[in-house]
């Protein structure tokens, strides 16, 4: 559980945004390069809806993944408002391995269960980056942000798994808990942290996975990874 603040100590606010919808596979179900995919038309509409929701907010610090889909999301969110932005490779999404190297009979379970396996020994995301290495990469950048004393309100635009790591840190559950923090495209999360964090561990999750374009999650039945698997053509299995 997050520690209580000493009297007089203030909190700072983090706004975590996942990029808008993209297509990770072509019409034949073949994977596209995740380093270069752009927002889809649906993703652009989603982010514009979120931009309307946050248009009156101000941010002292803005950090963004250097992948195109995150940068496009940030541009739409700020809608021309001036901001000094750090585009950081450290905030890239966790790197997957090659899907074709996973046996067809195991692919469904490997994809849809990837977040549940994150805390197992030496676990890798779909045969790619080690979860422990990814967590260390994200938290190192996050703690560097927390070490800066001059900001009160920060915006981080990045990716599904990046947000899950930060939300799991705020909740104090680490890798074993990341599967619970569903992150729909163009969603907003708000976390309050102590001004001396991470010395004061954890945070307060004020808002989780909020999507102004569909606040009631109507028609959303699957998880992020189930949707990912459904985009893979049967021929690829």
Of 24 and 61, the one with more pLDDT: 61
Find the mean pLDDT for residues 77-94: 93
Q: pLDDT tens-digit profile of 127-186? A: 999 999 999 999 999 999 999 999 999 999 999 999 999 999 999 999 999 999 999 999
Does the pLDDT value for residue 235 go beyond 50? no
Structure tokens at 159: 């990716």
Per-residue pLDDT, 237:
43
* Inter-residue long-range contacts of 35-38, CB under 8 Å, 24+ positions, other chains counted: 35/67, 36/67, 36/68, 37/68, 37/69, 38/68, 38/69, 38/72
CA distance 10 to 14: 13
* Residues in a beta bridge with 13: 153, 192
User: CA-CA distances (angstroms) from residue 231 to 27, 32, 44, 104, 142?
Assistant: 9, 12, 19, 15, 32
pLDDT digits 0-9 by tens, 133-149: 999 999 999 999 999 99
At 37-46, the pLDDT tens digits run: 999 999 999 9
pTM of the prediction?
0.92
Give the pLDDT mean for 173-200. 94
CA angle 67, 77, 180 (to 5 degrees): 70
Domains, the chain, in order of start with CATH, read: 11-233 (3.40.50.1240)
């Amino acid at each position: 559980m997050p520690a209580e603040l000493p009297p007089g100590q203030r909190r700072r606010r983090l706004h975590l945004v996942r990029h808008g919808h993209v297509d990770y596979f072509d019409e034949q179900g073949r994977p596209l390069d995740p380093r270069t995919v752009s927002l889809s038309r649906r993703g652009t509409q989603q982010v514009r809806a979120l931009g309307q929701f946050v248009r009156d907010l101000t941010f002292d610090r803005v950090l963004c993944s250097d992948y195109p889909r995150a940068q496009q999301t940030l541009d739409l969110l700020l809608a021309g408002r001036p901001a000094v932005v750090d585009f950081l490779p450290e905030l890239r999404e966790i790197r997957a391995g090659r899907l074709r190297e996973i046996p067809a009979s195991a692919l469904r379970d490997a994809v849809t269960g990837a977040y549940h396996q994150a805390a197992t020994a030496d676990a890798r995301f779909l045969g790619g980056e080690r979860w422990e290495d990814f967590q260390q990469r994200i938290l190192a950048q996050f703690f560097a942000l927390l070490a800066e004393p001059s900001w009160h309100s920060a915006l981080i635009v990045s990716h599904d798994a990046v947000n899950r790591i930060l939300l799991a840190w705020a909740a104090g559950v680490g890798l074993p808990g990341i599967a619970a923090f569903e992150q729909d495209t163009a969603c907003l999360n708000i976390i309050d942290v102590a001004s001396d964090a991470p010395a004061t561990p954890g945070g307060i999750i004020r808002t989780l996975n909020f999507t102004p374009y569909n606040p009631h999650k109507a028609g959303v039945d699957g998880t992020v990874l189930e949707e990912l698997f459904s985009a893979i053509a049967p021929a690829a299995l």
